[in-house]
Structure 1
């Protein structure tokens, strides 16, 4: 195993990890001030990122990468295996789309008299539209998922707050599409949740909300953060693994 550093690139410095016969590119990004730990992320699209404090030396970042080298390699293998079976959606009748962990058959209905929109009826997602254009079907579905996400996330946030005894008042919440995160918590305690998360099982929604609520008490991924997470959701690691496994099927 060896690690190399490239010259600084406009979008961030690149590290190169050689593990076995593979050379893995890792992009170094800056973490928020006051957070000392290097966070390594492997995304479903096989991007690898190392989020490190600006003041951290390259050697310190490389040490963190070396320590997680086996895990990085295994995550990449897992995501590549999953992506082999992911078929890009065409937004036509007969496709399968997720909502709260269940698959629903898509039915596109062309109509000039009924209002355009999406309805969930008897296990089917029915999209009524003026003309059968895939881009328009995708747009209507995205709007429907966002509306459902706002409703579902609001209800589950209220339920999870009963367990988050360290939160004194209901935090503000918004729904916003993100490419690399299911959720985030700002330093001021505002939660942002990805609308694609509403496609996952309810326990996965609860996990992400609890994760972000834990950040109100511990804003970094410290030992205290994981201890708190384990107290409110002892089985969180298994739920996280399930959500990770579904990511490539849930996000377009």
Structure 2
């Protein structure tokens, strides 16, 4: 959420807080690159609250902006805490469930000293062959497999979404990069970066993230023009975003 603030000299980074109802909400104020005089508030699945603002923004104005969103922050924290209650660390052993393109597949770890180590999607299962069973090795092989599949699928979906993004004159450069707090990003020069674990989500979620970043090529901030473009190319994008955000803990190998 972008909220206008009155700029004034203050610290570039600090921890702040306020009380909402019976809860003390703590958030971290960080410097916002390429700031436009607004505060960007984010609540992450691990229940961190971050307010990005211009370096010279006044702390009191930032606190006021965040408090205005107190109810929304409180509800986000409540929902993410419920998810955390039912989330257990992955052990990367046979019988676990892992996602790929929105579907769940059982993990089958095969110990085969003479076979080539790798991952195959066979008969509704993700089969991982290893010379010796190791959590770290299974996780590493799965990570490499997801990245390879992401590179191929994201390229195809980008081409498909470009047919709708008529404002984009040239095919943007696409980069695959594991990120802790984002599904995707768009640089000022139009390069799109996507999180490889997005390939675990449904195709419409992948399309949403790609379209979101393509809209940033036309409008780098979350302005009215940006949302007009999003509504034009994906009229029900809000529901898709909610669906993706609600699955964050299931799709990522570790919490944000």
Q: Could you tell me the TM-score, scaled by structure 1's length?
A: 0.94
Q: What are the within-5 Å matches in structure 2 for residues 54-69 of structure 1?
A: 54-69=55-70
**Kept after mapping to 1: 8 A contact 2:111/2:131:** yes
Residue in 2 that maps onto 1:49: 50
Name the SS of the counterpart of 1:49 in structure 2.
Answer: strand
Name the SS of the counterpart of 2:38 in structure 1.
Answer: coil
Q: Distance in 1 between matches of 2:238 and 2:32?
A: 24
CA shift for structure 1 position 58? 1.5
Query: How many residues are treated as equivalent by the alignment?
Result: 244
Specify every segment of 5 or more residues in structure 2 that has no aligned partner in the other structure, as ranges. 1-9
Residue in 2 that maps onto 1:120: 121
Residue in 1 that maps onto 2:41: 40
Q: Distance in 2 between matches of 1:80 and 1:246?
A: 13
Residue in 1 that maps onto 2:94: 93
Q: Distance in 1 between matches of 2:40 and 2:164?
A: 27
Residue in 2 that maps onto 1:3: none
CA shift for structure 1 position 33? 2.5
Q: What are the within-5 Å matches in structure 2 for residues 1-252 of structure 1?
A: 12-252=13-253
Name the SS of the counterpart of 1:125 in structure 2.
Answer: strand
Name the SS of the counterpart of 1:87 in structure 2.
Answer: coil
**Kept after mapping to 2: 8 A contact 1:111/1:131:** yes
Residue deviations 1:163-218, cap 9 Å, x none? 10110010001100000000000001101100111011110000000001111011
**Kept after mapping to 2: 8 A contact 1:8/1:14:** no
Q: Distance in 2 between matches of 1:66 and 1:117?
A: 50
Q: Could you tell me the TM-score, scaled by structure 2's length?
A: 0.93
Q: Distance in 2 between matches of 1:34 and 1:21?
A: 33
CA shift for structure 1 position 55? 2.7
Q: Distance in 2 between matches of 1:106 and 1:192?
A: 28
Residue deviations 1:122-143, cap 9 Å, x none? 1100000000001100000000
User: Structure 1: which 4+ aligned runs deviate by more than 3 Å?
Assistant: none
Residue deviations 1:218-244, cap 9 Å, x none? 101112111111111110100000011
Name the SS of the counterpart of 2:24 in structure 1.
Answer: strand
Specify every segment of 5 or more residues in structure 1 that has no aligned partner in the other structure, as ranges. 1-6
Relative to structure 1, the CA distance from residue 8 to residue 38 in structure 2 (aligned partners, 3 Å threshold; closer, same or farther) is closer
Residue deviations 1:72-116, cap 9 Å, x none? 000000000011111110000000000011000000001122210
